A = this chain, B = another copy of it.
Amino acid sequence: MTKKWYGGIEAGGTKFVCAVGSGPDDILYEERFPTTTPEETIGRTLEFFRNVDVPLEGIGIASFGPIDVNPASDTFGYILKTPKLQWIDADFGQAIQRELGLPVAIDTDVNGAALGEWKWGAAQGLDTFLYFTIGTGIGGGGMVRGNLMHGLLHPEMGHMRLPHDRQRDPFEGACPFHGDCFEGLASGPAMEARWGVPAETLPTNHPAWELEADYIALAMVNAICTISPQRIILGGGVMSNLALFPLIQQKVKHYLNGYLQLPTIIDDMDGYIVPPGLGNQSGVLGAIALTQVAA
């Protein structure tokens, strides 16, 4: 049987990752470059795939959102109104499809990463779970009873509203649409705006992390109350500080306060809120998985 090759594009707020492969142990080519303007970034993406010397079955795109994920729509694959202002109304998916002449499967970055984690990572065997990215932006997606979450559009979990104690944290929030929504309070840029230095330069004992864990824990409580996931996977640049995990786990238990007396939550919080099994490859492998599912 001839091996089949698939293209994957993880379109993130900070960087694009393009790859050709068929799974975690079969990545033929991979390239990472910064997300700049739509023209330049999509241009580099096309260049990457034009240089590939194996035939591809299709291209999977796991993109930041909001993005039109309805294949029946005229604007399928277009970026919608987003805090990344240059990308509003950018034709992303159709441009890739047209220029490369290949079938394109599109979902959000987080639904893509969720699919990758379900196929090869930390969500294997589950049917209801969430994947969040906490980085340049914040997004959440996942599966409910075996289906990737879609609806009117797709989840935009980064924009939920959270308790914000302005006495403790007078920062107004960094989201251009909502100010102090989850993303506005807890994204990487929000941390940088609040503390004046990039998050990754803050020492591990800086109070920034305690506050960050607090907002993430409140958002996880809301996600747990809304979806009842069997597991939550937290990826993205901010979560590369793994010291956040025990803080978040402990605060989620604190905020649930004995409600939902389930063994998973009481005794196995370590295994309940976890880093991606695929490390920083969930997104691009998820993109590949999207086109494998579609093919």
- Is there contact, CB below 8 Å, between B157 and A226? yes
Binds B, one of A3-11, A94-102, A216-224, A239-247: A216-224
Asked, given contacts A128-B151, A150-B145, A151-B144, whether A226 binds B226 with beta carbons under 8 Å apart, the answer is: yes
Binds B, one of A20-28, A46-54, A259-267, A282-290: A259-267
Distance from A269 Cβ to chain B, minimum over Cβ atoms (Å): 12
Distance from A155 Cβ to chain B, minimum over Cβ atoms (Å): 5
Q: Among B163, B260, B264, point to the contact of A81 (Cβ < 8 A).
A: B260
Question: How distant is the Cα of A66 from the Cα of B70 in the complex, in angstroms?
Answer: 35
A160 is an interface residue with CB less than 8 A from chain B: yes
- Is there contact, CB below 8 Å, between A140 and B229? no
A194 is an interface residue with CB less than 8 A from chain B: no
Q: Among B147, B259, B262, point to the contact of A159 (Cβ < 8 A).
A: B259
Distance from A132 Cβ to chain B, minimum over Cβ atoms (Å): 11
**Listed A/B pairs (19) with beta-carbon separation below 8 Å:** A128-B150, A129-B151, A144-B147, A145-B149, A145-B151, A147-B147, A150-B228, A151-B230, A154-B228, A156-B260, A161-B162, A161-B218, A162-B163, A163-B164, A177-B258, A177-B259, A178-B257, A226-B226, A226-B227
